Structure 1
Amino acid sequence: MRPARFRRARTLTPAARVLRLRRRISLLFALTSAVGLIAMAVLAVRSDSGRWREQLDHTMDADTSWALGLLETDEDGRLVLDVLADSVDTACPPLTVLLVAPDDPGALTVEHAPAKPCLTVGRAVVQEAGRAAVRADGVRAFDGRTTDGEPVRVFAQPFYAPEAADDAGPQGVLVTVADASAPQDDHRRLVWLVTGGCAVLVLLSAAVGHVLSGRAVRPALAALDRQEAFLADAAHDLRTPAASLRTLAETALRGETDGADVHQRTLRLAEGMGRLVDGLLTRARLMSGTAAVARQPLRLDQLVEAVVDEAPTKGHRVRVEAEETVVVADPDLVRRAVGNLLDNALAHGHAPGVPADVLITVGRDGVLTVEDAGPGLPPEVAGALFERFRSGSGSTGLGLSIASWVAHAHGGTLAAERGERGGARFVLRLPTSD
């Protein structure tokens, strides 16, 4: 047996799968934006962190380089710090002079230290900075903290005896300290600003991705809706004639009906099913936009007369009052719309057992009216008359739906109202050639 997650995934509808795809696209868009923004934020934060440290190191390097020029040695090669002590305020920033023991390069002795430094760091911090500079035989800088816990930058620069050999080690080390609290506060504010900005931008990108993915899947959802509507129309419209054919076939098998009558009724049902299928396909093409509207100048009055001549009136009365009218429309689609309006009037525009009396008028302004003398439009269906499955007399109303789609495809309208004779009046407006 398959896991439950596979069974659940199998029950998802096509629309649900499209919506799930939309969520995944939105999430992927947000994650991609987040990765890019976080990478840029990390680079910005690291760059700022290195920048303020470099600035402090450059300042301390200048201070120690100036202090090195003030160091002197006596005739015995011993270091003299009188000039340095008299010329430089070694208390702020604190400047400590360490000497390297001749017999042990790793041992450092304090030759000079400020009595009241403005920044107090532990002796171990100063010693470790000096030893690091001696081992590296070059300047060294690192972060540290004062005895009060405040952040500082510690800088150590070695110096050499005036007549020392090239391979001789440092004679001593100058160690200075700079206050790093202000730069670190600025850096911390930058971090919070960048973090907040990234969060806002990620949320904004997620919203934009959700909107864009919604627009991307909207045609797919619309296509699924049209497909479901078409399948519903087909199932609804074909169910009744299919049942009638089944009943007719069962009756014929039992020998209860004359063969010629069975053939005639079968032919009528087949013709009706053919018209239904043709109408369904036309409506599906109109809804999907695949039916090309071939607009051209068209004599609407002549088309209406041809439709009436071809219609099976079967004893009904159909009158045409038409003026010479030229519209810009697709002949095939307009013919179908007019035919559907006429079929609707002949089918529903009269009382049972009474012939229909239909009046069709065509005006010069491209307005066509089909009016019958029947019972009129029921109020409960008047507002949704052009939706599928709605006609007011038990049929599907597919013909009126197609006629409405044809009107809107040409930039026109189709409206239903009460006629002067009490029946229904359908008004079709099409754009003229003027």
Structure 2
Amino acid sequence: MTDNRFVESNRLQSKASQLIPAGCHTYSKGVDQFPQLAPGFIQSGNGAWVTDMDGNTFLDWGMGLRSVSLGYGYPRVTQKVIDYVQKGQGPNFTRPAPVEVELAELLVELIPSAEMVKFSKNGSDVTSAAIRLSRAYTGRKRIAFCKEHPFFSFNDWFIGTTPCNNGIPEQVSELSVSFQYNDAQSLERIFELYPGDVAAVILEPVTSIPPAEGFLKRVRELTHKHGAVLIFDEMISGFRFGLPGAQTTFGIHPDLSTFGKAIGNGFSCAVLAGKRDIMSLGGLEHLQPRLFLLSATNGAETHSLAAAIETVLEFREKNVIGHIELIGERLQEGWRQTVMAHGLDQHLQIGGYPNSPVYVCKDEQLIPSAAFRTLFLQEMIREGVLIPYISISYSHGEREVTKTLEALDRTCAVYHQALDQGFQSVLTGPPVKPVFRKFN
């Protein structure tokens, strides 16, 4: 079954599947991640709203995979990029551009654990650079990563540990071992099992689950004790859990940290930041074996770095984080009241921090369900709300909260029908699938 709301999207989607593996360049944007009745392509965005190929407008809570932190077309950032393009400053040169030093200076001042920084275009590059740097610094090979945190990189050291390990030698995957979040003993066991061989410990300092009392401090102590590098992946927590991130909020400073997503308001900029004695191994002023850290042709694309500067300054000059938290609180409170009124408070739950809410869709047995999640997405899209997850931007306000709660209220009625008659009675097409799976 097709939907006449998405004729152009469906046409382009069919063409894309023949030209592009998976039909897109980020797996989480793929057709298997959304209901069949969903916009296939987004044409434009303004604030917290987007328009698809067929002219349908949606309130967007996904915000470019969490990368658009201020809003689509945000004037301050957009104008700076336009200035760089129109004034002939050029996107790239044969030698470095001054904007590289300007942003580096701003970030070293802002990030408490940073004495040097290196830029790239995506999170996978900078987390993998942190791994390589840690191995060079320690002379060790093994990596300890947090099992509960879903994605660190598309590179072999991490993807080889997931069901999507096709094409990756086992010898590479075996060097990455997992520990559990909020379980310091599980990390201690790794150090005991591989004495003197753990190069780095990498984790998100916080997600929807708060760090247990003393957990991050203990991780910091263990890495010090065993001579391993501590890496905080702040791709998501950066510019949400304090400024610049969770390391500020929780007062635990890693050796290396990575930032991206929110930092450029959708323009591609990722940052590896860290201590000078580690970061300098990627430089030219030492006598150690040469380390090829990060060297991307477009890693310091000037207009993207300019966008990052304006985004960081906007966060610094305005209470962006406070606004995001306030909108999150309003959304969570209204969500709970709405689902409770429908008797669905055990089926459609919202939790997490106000700055990064998380919802869960459960079936008749109160088990998280891909089918019911797909149904929820389908019905919210029908009501004009695109909500694959909740990434609040500075452009989300009371109007957007009201729109979402009204859509949720109408969606609850269909959700009830699915619980009573089975999701097949109201869901068009197949349920969404997990990104990490062995077969398509």
- Structure with bigger RCO (C-alpha 8 Å, 6+ apart): 2
**TM-score tier (shorter):** under 0.3
Higher strand content, 1 or 2: 1
Flag the structure with larger Rg.
Answer: 1
TM-score (norm 1): 0.19
TM norm structure 2: 0.19
